[in-house]
Amino acid sequence: MTDKDLLSRFEYFGKRALDYRNKVIGLLPEVHRRKLYLQRDCTSIYEYAKKSAGLSEEQVSRALNIFKNFTNKPALKRLLEEGTVSVNKLSRVASIATVENERELAAKVQIMSQSAVETFVRDIRQGVSEAEIVRTHKPESNSLFAQDEVRLDEDVRVRLVELKRRGIDINQLLRDVLDRRDEEIAQAKDQIADELSESSSRYIPARVRSILKKEYGQRCAKNGCNKLSENIHHTRRWALDPSHNPNYLAPLCKEHHQIAHSIDVEFHEMRFR
């Protein structure tokens, strides 16, 4: 068997193993409720699940707990019972699920990867609004001169100290520099947008990429996210606005990109429901 064949066989069966495990776990709560394990001479659901499906005690209790949490959340409950979504993902989502948001979460969790779900749940718990995918430039309070935040080169430090000695407001000076930078970027983006010809191509022009790089550096555009950006996301639906206007583009990490698209899907569903 070649390496490629071996890998593809492994992944083929691996995928099925995972799918079947989800199905089995989905059936557990009802087997438990009807106490059917007694018919198989097992004293508990744990013993039965271990013997008949190789599930660990932890897997069983996690599934039962999530099921309890989902009692009044029918959309999420269905995903668990039908084994459509892994218990790993559902247990993350369970921590933020409410009667009000459960339908929305059920739609999202089906199209997000495990790591996107984790990022999404963390963002929500930290109170970051999910619609707020694109930057807001907030001034960085007093932390600028803290050594662990920003290290200044000696020549820069000397010049700033000298200015400060002369009574010049260093913070205001830097604020002005940063504001000017923002303004320059905003102007450059508008100019690029004006000169951009209508495009039917998904290819993002080099100058658009380069202004985004200048604005966001190498990181995800989502506030507070420290991951490297991997995809340039169109914040307006491509189908409605097929352009590469840099004002509506945001470089995102893999996770926030998936999250952005899950919002997109919802919007789409809402419009056509």
Work out how close the CB of 234 gets to Zn ion at its nearest, in angstroms, rounded to a whole number.
6
Q: Does residue 256 bind Zn ion (CB under 5 A)? A: yes
Work out how close the CB of 167 gets to Zn ion at its nearest, in angstroms, rounded to a whole number.
42
Kindly report the backbone phi and psi dihedral angles of residue 222, in degrees, each rounded to the nearest multiple of 5, phi listed first: -65, 130
> Are 96 and 121 contacting, i.e. CB atoms less than 8 angstroms apart?
yes
Q: Residues 175 to 234: which contact Zn ion by CB under 5 A?
A: 220, 222, 225, 227, 233
Token output for 36:
């059917």
Q: How far apart are CA 102 and CA 168, in angstroms?
A: 55
Work out how close the CB of 173 gets to Zn ion at its nearest, in angstroms, rounded to a whole number.
31
Contacts of 85 (CB under 8 A, 6+ apart): 22, 79, 109, 110
By C-beta, is 52 or 115 nearer to Zn ion?
Answer: 115
Residues binding Zn ion: number (CB under 5 A)? 7
Task: Using the rule CB under 5 A, give the single segment among 13-21, 121-129, 176-184, 252-260 that binds Zn ion.
Answer: 252-260
Work out how close the CB of 117 gets to Zn ion at its nearest, in angstroms, rounded to a whole number.
14
By C-beta, is 86 or 258 nearer to Zn ion?
Answer: 258
Contacts of 230 (CB under 8 A, 6+ apart): 251, 252, 253, 254, 257
Work out how close the CB of 218 gets to Zn ion at its nearest, in angstroms, rounded to a whole number.
12
By C-beta, is 73 or 234 nearer to Zn ion?
Answer: 234
Q: How far apart are CA 234 and CA 260, in angstroms?
A: 9
Whose tokens are 């997000």? That residue is 112
- Give the interface with Zn ion as residue ranges (CB under 5 A): 220, 222, 225, 227, 233, 253, 256
